[in-house]
Structure 1
Amino acid sequence: MTLLNDPATSEVHHQLVPVFRALMAARDPRATLYWLTRPTSRPDILADMANGALAIAHAAFDELPTTRNVSYIHDLLVATGVLTPHSIAIDAITRWLTDNVSDLPKAQADLVRQYARWRLLRRLRQLDAAGNLTAGSLETARAALSSAVRFLTWLNARGLTLASLNQHQLDDYLTEFPTRASTLGSGFLRWTTRSRITHAVAVPVPPRPTPNVAMAHDLRWEHVQTLLHDNTIRGYTRVVGLFMLLFAQPLVRTLRMRRDQIQVHGDGEVTVTFDSIAIELPDPLNRLVIDHLDFGAPASYATSDWLFPGRNPGKPLVTENVRGELVSLGIPPNHARQAAMFQLASEMPTAVLAEVLGLSNITAIRWATLSSRDWAYYAALRHEPS
């Protein structure tokens, strides 16, 4: 493979040897050859790194367009160990922030950068290090930054400052833009208050909604049967959907499971550990999980310990990928998970529910309370026509 050759040695560049080995170990050599010969895949980036035209470093990607194929190369270099772990998505938010504070006075722009650095980006890096960074968490951070910039712009237009802001002025803003209340109150204003930049102002916090169930019991079990037996559905979608319908696992958490959370025992028993207790999987779900372990991973050029590896090297499957397929099957994830949680909360002691499913005690108690209070209502819902 001359693409990765160092002209000085006519051999694979020593820093790119891990990439070479990953490409050679791919399950489908024809797909690898196609990928390497297709210009839009950007193999030229690897070639330029091999011949010295481009540095083998994260900084090299700062000058390249932020496209899916460029990001794939970046991910490949990280997943194979050529580059140190690094979040491309977090870098993108940092660049976006620079552009979006450009119209603010310098003091305010610096303040938003401090908020981003100490509150938002630090949290995103913690999630990334734990393998829990999602598109949703990135979008939440971006929305929080947009909220801060919009609010400061509104203050500037009226000659107001954060230091002099009073509750009446804040209420005027929230009356004009009521949909911005939650993001502003839970984000930027909470931080400025804790940092003693603003004083005696608060965004009203609406009461936390009570859990509810919108999927009939019989419909839930119809969905279970579909995912168990319909071989036209992608295998990983079936397993993820069944973990949700049977064990109330949220998609985000399931897609970040590791392979060692599944154990296949010598007697054929298959167990899954969502939190700290292993659960034996019934047949035929156990066979679906074994099939997934053997054949279910999408093609990628770097191994990983994700239970549901994505197409990008070293990354898990994207939540929206599975969510979209479940919705197309008539299985809304939130409703399915709530129905499963309701059923489990009515059958298990609260402490066991929390430990088995990995819930906080507060969440387990709220669902247990709901299930004991509303069982008569749910019994009626069970028999509603779908």
Structure 2
Amino acid sequence: MSPPRKPRARSTAPDPKRWPECSRCGHCYQLAARWPEGPICMHCYNAARRREGACADCGHVGMVPGLNTAAEPVCLRCSGIPLALTCTACGEEAWLAKGATCWRCLLRGMVHDHLAGPDGQISPALQPMAEALCSMPRANSGVTWMRANPQVGQLLRALGTGSLELSHDALDALPAGRTVEYLRALLVTHHALPPRDRRLATFQRWLDDTLARVEHPEHKQLLDRFARWHHLRDLRRQAEHGPVEAGPVLRAKQSITVTIEFLGWLDRRGTTLAALSQHEIDSWHAGGPGTREHVQRFLYWCRAQRLTGKLELPRRDKDNPQLIGEHARLKIIRSLLLGDELALPYRIAGCLITLFGQPAGKVVALTLADLTGSDASSPELRLRLGKQWVPVPEQLAALIHLHLEHRANTNTAANAQSRWLFPGQVPGEHLSRTTLLAALRGNGIPVRAARNTTWQQLVREAPPQVLADALNISPATAMKHAQRAGSDWARYVSTTHHQQ
């Protein structure tokens, strides 16, 4: 059975002069039928045709379009409603799509037509993806996906007939776009293609295109060394431990882009890297926007490679972190727990940031395995953030239980069996860190300042070493928070060291 849907808002105003009151909603909208209970408007009629569940009167499981005297859903037989809800193709009671065919059968037919080869059969490599598409919880979403975007049908037919090779290289040769990347991720999720980090591959293609536009031969050679042996190597290391996040990729792109501008600036001044002086460094930073500081990674790399002399590079001051008042932090927590301005996944993620001081990147990467006691009947919900299991406050636990019942983005073939606590829209991936931050900031939550304030409070209540183990940060970072908060745990550290 599909999870319940939120009723769609009506786009027109009621018209009492033209239509009688609907026996269900009590409003005067266009009528669709007259049932034993009275006139039914089009809105309530469509909602009834889609409703699945168990009949409150006889227990029949299937379509329950009717309502009994207690306004509980009942089946066709118990309600006496003259409505045809049996699919002529599969013989099951279902929400019918076209004629007397249900959405599930319509979807199966479309998937077969799109993916079948010249012999009329779907290849074994594509069969798992075809089965996942056909069994997605909301079949109508699959039909809409293939109908609304013509490119989807073109790509699926090309894969089915073999005119498009089933490989990453063949997809890379197509014009870049969201449809191609979504289909690629779907193929990877269902083992038709080998896994590949999406953002790492995108960065590699961007790097090749960017370097191809650099006309100066020496600059191109130098940039190639810097990009591949510094940024690309770092991103590959990150990919060994999990999906590369958008932030590191964006920072790498910005660093390379600013470096290209910097080398052009030096060339116009008639200066080489070997002759680079402190005066040029200061002039570069003083003569342009703040984004010029992103050249520093390149200059540090040049200094390590002995391409420049020992120059002093400006450093960003990190000793004065952004903070908010404790009262403001508690107000944010209260709004996340009790308000409904944000979708439930964002509210839960925001609570994990403001209650436990977790970075957004760590929050979105939590899996179902990081929860214990997630069954609503369990006495306590615990969350694994570091080496220890942390108890979740009761109000937040209630939100997490509600979220687990109907996790977002799991009603398609993309993430039906997702292991992520917060599944993303891209198949096989979790919620984007960038998306989470945009949602929280758009709701007036200063994420970084709230997280810093959380740590200022946490280190007043527990030793930094204990917090570091439980909440998965380095002891040095935890101690810095303690020093900034004015909490002296040196006595605790020395005492525990003496006892050991």
User: What is the TM-score when the length of structure 1 is the normalising length?
Assistant: 0.89
For 2:331, the aligned partner's letter is E
- Cα offset, 1:247, TM superposition: 0.7
For the Cα contact (< 8 Å) 1:346–1:371, is it kept in 2? yes
- CA distance in 1: counterparts of 2:174 and 2:453, whole angstroms: 46
- The residue aligned with 1:114 is 225
Name whichever of 59-68 and 357-366 sits farther off. Answer: 59-68
2-structure distance, mates of 1:217, 1:176: 39
Change (3 A) 1:344 1:61: same
- Equivalent residue in structure 1 for 2:361, among 249, 252, 269: 252
Partner of 1:312: 426
State the Cα distance separating 1:232 from its structure 2 match: 5.7
Following TM superposition, by how much is the alpha carbon of 1:223 offset from its aligned partner in structure 2, in angstroms? 2.3
Distance 2:280 2:162 in 1: 58
Q: Is the 8 A contact 2:197 2:243 kept in 1?
A: no
Deviations 1:259-294 (A, max 9, x none): 211111674321001111101112121121122222
Count of aligned residue pairs for this structure pair: 371
Taking only aligned residues, the RMSD between alpha carbons, in angstroms, comes to: 2.2
Residue number in structure 1 paired with 2:137: 27
Deviation of 1:334 (Å): 1.6
Q: Which residue does the alignment assign to 1:79?
A: 189
Aligned pair 1:103/2:217, yes or no?
A: no
> Mapping of 1:129-148 within 5 angstroms?
129-148=240-259
* Number of the residue aligned with 2:117: 6
Post-superposition CA distance 1:15-61 (Å, at most 9, x none): 11221122123111111121122234523212201101111011112
Question: Map of 1:1-386 to 2, 5 A cutoff?
Answer: 1-8=112-119, 10-40=120-150, 42-101=152-211, 102-177=213-288, 179-185=290-296, 187-214=297-324, 216-231=325-340, 233-264=342-373, 267-299=378-410, 300-302=412-414, 303-372=417-486
TM superposition shift of 1:103: 3.1
Distance 1:241 1:207 in 2: 27
Bigger radius of gyration among the two: 2
Q: Which amino acid aligns with 1:241?
A: G
- Tell me if the contact between 1:147 and 1:188 (Cα under 8 Å) persists in the aligned partners: no
Answer whether contact 1:271 1:280 (CA < 8 A) is retained: yes
Q: Distance in 2 between matches of 1:226 and 1:177?
A: 41
Q: CA deviation at 1:153?
A: 0.9
Unmatched 5+ stretches in structure 1: 375-386
Q: CA deviation at 1:132?
A: 4.6
Give 2:131's aligned amino acid.
Answer: R
How far has the Cα of 1:65 moved from its partner?
Answer: 2.1
Task: Name the amino acid aligned to 2:370.
Answer: Q
| Distance across 2 between alignment mates of 1:18 and 1:109 | 44
Conserved? CA contact 1:304–1:314, under 8 Å = yes
More helix by share: 1
Identity of aligned residues (%): 28
- The 2-side partners of 1:220 and 1:171 are apart by 39
Structure 2: gaps spanning 5 or more residues = 1-111, 489-500
Shift of the 38–212 alpha-carbon distance from structure 1 to 2, 3 Å rule, reads: closer
